[in-house]
Structure 1
Amino acid sequence: MKSCCIVENVNGYEINAKAVLSGTDLIVIVNGGTKPHIGSISVAVARESLLKNGSMSATVSTFNMLGHKDDEIGNMFAREIAMVTGSTCVVTCGIHIDCINKDEIDSVVAASQKLLGRMKEVLQKMDMDT
């Protein structure tokens, strides 16, 4: 089973992203902080852009656990990975840091964007055929 795992550090905490190939689709776990968990589940299905210019887009559906806001990062991962691979992508996301403030949230989002960029580079090089 093909997989990859990437880690980013932010404010002394680890944020992890692990992708596992399931046929030609992907299952991705994004978690970290003091209490990794499942806060949201995002499913993205790749499709041709509605602009009809040959570019890819994705439709994303999300299930958010009560009181969680992990969907911002989960949706970003699902959409971008589906678009870059042309595959269906399921992402579970759960990053928790006790007593986090707005600046720290911004740092986590920035680190997650960097993590996503690194993951997309790895996935573009991965043979998606099983």
Structure 2
Amino acid sequence: MMLIVTGGAVHIGAISTAYYSPEGLIEVQTTKIPGHKEYTISESLARRAIEVLNRTVTIAAGIHYDNITKSEIEMIVEIVNKRMDEYLFNKK
């Protein structure tokens, strides 16, 4: 399953794929673009999604707003997490 998380100027800052290892453990592999910090969101979302959906999940994330403050970033992360929960728990 592929999910895309964007906001502001659309771009790709990080891509995370969560999958089950042969031992049955959840593994997450992330590719991050230099200078971008979306991996902090994409990794946690991929991990949460695989736990609920029980299948390989890839999250592509790119969120950019000029001159954003720390509190605005925290608000965006909260919104993204809420939307992910809405998606995951309405999808089951």
Residue 2 (structure 2) aligns with: 27
Length, aligned pairs only: 91
Equivalent residue for 2:15, pick from 27, 41, 44: 41
TM value normalised by structure 1: 0.65
Partner residue, 1:80: 48
CA offset digits 1:63-112 (Å, max 9, x no partner): 00010000111112111111111100011000111100110011011111
Deviations 1:14-62 (A, max 9, x none): xxxxxxxxxxxx01111112x0111001000146xx9xxxxx8621110
| Structure 1 or 2: more helix by fraction | 2
Q: What's the % identity of the aligned pairs?
A: 33
Unaligned runs of 5+ in 1: 1-25, 51-55, 125-130
Distance 2:45 2:69 in 1: 23
Amino acid at match of 1:75: E
Consecutive unaligned residues of structure 2, counting only runs of 5 or more, are none
Contact 1:73–1:93, Cα closer than 8 Å, also in 2: yes
Partner of 2:65: 97
Give the TM-score of the pair, scaled to structure 2: 0.90
The code of the aligned residue for 2:65 comes to I
Larger-Rg structure: 1
Judging by fraction of residues, say which structure has more strand.
1
Kindly indicate whether structure 1 or structure 2 has the higher relative contact order, using CA contacts under 8 Å at least 6 residues apart. Answer: 2
